[in-house]
Amino acid sequence: MNICVCVKQVPDTTEIRIDPETHTLIRAGVPSIVNPFDTYALEAAVRLREKLGGRVVVISMGPPQAAEAVRSCLAVGADEGYLISGRKFGGSDTLATSYILSEAIRAVEKKEGISFDLILGGKQAVDGDTAQVAPEIAEHLGLPQVTYALGIEEKDGELRVKRDCDNGYDIISVKLPAVVTVVRLPYEPRYPSIGPWLESKKRTIPVLTEADLETVDLTRCGLNGSPTKVKKSYTPVREKHGVILSKVPADEASAKVAGMLREAGII
């Protein structure tokens, strides 16, 4: 099974700290990591490959330094990785990004001489949180999609995907090729072992620019191809709901609570 895994380099949100004086985020020196949801997608891909054979190819769109994210995927089982990076791609919203990635997937298939049976990604990136890119890739490529996977199994050339729902999960059967986005899995992504880790440090990550995507329509890329306009961003105000009764004896407090509930028409 040939699998393409789309990953994104994101700031390590566990490392983001608040400046004690200005109360703003300290962005300087925050390391970059592979989006955690994408690491589960990659682990699922590598496990499928270990069982069924084939190739796992990682692609990532981003600035030149995102090559490090691709490299780290090579250390945990990806066979090949491509960085999609071009000046015309800068400023892309989710629609333009998914369009570019779908073109890149076609270009990578050609370069590798394979066709992908499965395209995997995390359910969303932890920096943008849109959860739009992978489903849009499926639309651009005309493929079926299953989102919010908690488990992926292959059976007789089809995938059985356990899909997360509010009240439990669905088991969805999907014919390949397809796009699947992953929330998490019953197992943890593997840690890189020293051999592949050292090897990955020596690999050159091929970069595909607009010149390498033969059929790409540049009017659909970058700022020009992005209908999304961010007018303003702000930190949501934390509203405190609920009332806390402190330093009140228990019987007095319970009477007060009962009174408040009655006033609110709840009891």
Partner 1 sequence: MYNQLTPEIISMIQKVSDHVYTGGDISPDYARDEMPIYGTRMPDLAVQPRSTEEVAAVMKICYENNIPVTPRGAGTGLAGGAVPLFGGVLMDISKMNRILEYDLENFVVNIEAGVLLADLAADCLTRGMMYPPDPGEKFACVGGNVATNAGGMRAVKYGTTRDYVRAMTVVLPNGEITHMGATVSKTSSGYSLMNLMIGSEGTLGIITELTLKIIPAPKAAASLIIPFRDLRTALATVPKFRMNHMDPQAIEFMEREIVMLSERYVGKAVFPQELSGEPINAYLLITLDGTSSEEVDKLIEQAANIALEAGAMDVLIADTSNRIKDAWAARSSFLEAIMEETKLLDECDVVVPVNKIADYLEFVNEQGRKCGLEIKTFGHAGDGNLHIYQCSNDLDEEEFKRRVDAFFDIIYREATRCGGLVSGEHGIGSGKIKYLVDSVGETNMELMRGIKQVFDPKMILNPGKVCYKL
Sole window of 26-34, 92-100, 232-240, 247-255 interacting with partner 1 (rule: CB under 8 A): 26-34
Among 7, 33, 56, 119, binds partner 1 (CB under 8 A): 33
Contact 60, 33 (CB under 8 A): no
Question: 228: which residues sit within 8 A by CB, 6+ positions away?
Answer: 93, 94, 95
Joined tokens for residue 88: 């015309």
Q: Does residue 248 belong to the site contacting partner 1 (CB under 8 A)?
A: no
Q: Does residue 20 belong to the site contacting partner 1 (CB under 8 A)?
A: yes
Among 23, 31, 142, 250, binds partner 1 (CB under 8 A): 31
Among 191, 230, 231, 249, binds partner 1 (CB under 8 A): 191
Classify residue 221 by its DSSP letter.
Answer: S
Q: Does residue 50 belong to the site contacting partner 1 (CB under 8 A)?
A: no
Q: Which residues pair with 178 in a beta bridge?
A: 118
Smallest gap from Cβ 17 to partner 1, in A, equals 5
Q: Does residue 187 belong to the site contacting partner 1 (CB under 8 A)?
A: yes
Beta strands across the sheet bearing 80-84: 168-175, 158-165, 145-155, 178-182, 118-122, 3-6, 56-61, 80-84, 207-208
Among 116, 160, 188, 205, binds partner 1 (CB under 8 A): 188
Smallest gap from Cβ 93 to partner 1, in A, equals 27
Q: Which is nearer to partner 1, 142 or 186 (CB)?
A: 186
Q: Does residue 234 belong to the site contacting partner 1 (CB under 8 A)?
A: no
Q: Which is nearer to partner 1, 29 or 168 (CB)?
A: 29
Residues 75-114 interacting with partner 1 (rule: CB under 8 A): 75
Number of CB atoms found within 10 A of residue 46's CB: 20
Q: Does residue 194 belong to the site contacting partner 1 (CB under 8 A)?
A: yes
- Angle (CA) 144 81 195, round 5°: 125
Q: Which is nearer to partner 1, 188 or 217 (CB)?
A: 188
Contact 108, 83 (CB under 8 A): no
Closest CA to 148 of 97, 116, 182: 182
Q: Which is nearer to partner 1, 71 or 162 (CB)?
A: 71
Contact 77, 54 (CB under 8 A): no
**Alpha-carbon dihedral sign for residues 94, 42, 210, 179:** negative
Q: Does residue 193 belong to the site contacting partner 1 (CB under 8 A)?
A: yes
Q: Which is nearer to partner 1, 33 or 178 (CB)?
A: 33
* Contact residues: partner 1, CB under 8 A: 12, 14-15, 17-20, 26, 29, 31, 33, 36, 72, 75, 187-188, 190-194, 197-198, 201
